């Protein structure tokens, strides 16, 4: 059972690293992930992040660019 908790923590750390990439590279100087208007990538990405938020794996307040992007989408 301890092994499963370690796996969960490993995947959570990976997820947080990916969120850092989205925050610091994709959304740092853009309003949306791909272009200057909403795309299917924004819709799908926002849905996935909302699920993480509901499951309490992640708080939108931790990432201001992601939080602003979610408000726009």
Question: For position 34, what pLDDT does the model report?
Answer: 92
d(CA 46, CA 1): 32
For residue 25 the two structure tokens come to 């590279």
Cβ of 23: how many Cβ atoms within 10 Å? 17
d(CA 69, CA 73): 6
Query: Mind listing the pLDDT tens digit for each residue in 39-61?
Result: 999 999 999 998 988 888 777 77
Q: Looking at 25-29, 32-36, 49-53, 65-69, which range is the least confident one?
A: 49-53
């Amino acid at each position: 059972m301890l092994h499963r908790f370690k796996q969960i923590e490993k995947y959570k750390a990976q997820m947080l690293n990916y969120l850092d990439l989205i925050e610091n590279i994709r959304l740092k100087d853009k309003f949306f992930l791909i272009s200057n208007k909403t795309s299917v990538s924004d819709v799908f990405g926002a849905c996935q992040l909302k699920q993480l938020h509901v499951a309490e794996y992640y708080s939108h307040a931790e990432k201001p660019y992601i939080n602003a992007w979610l408000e726009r989408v």
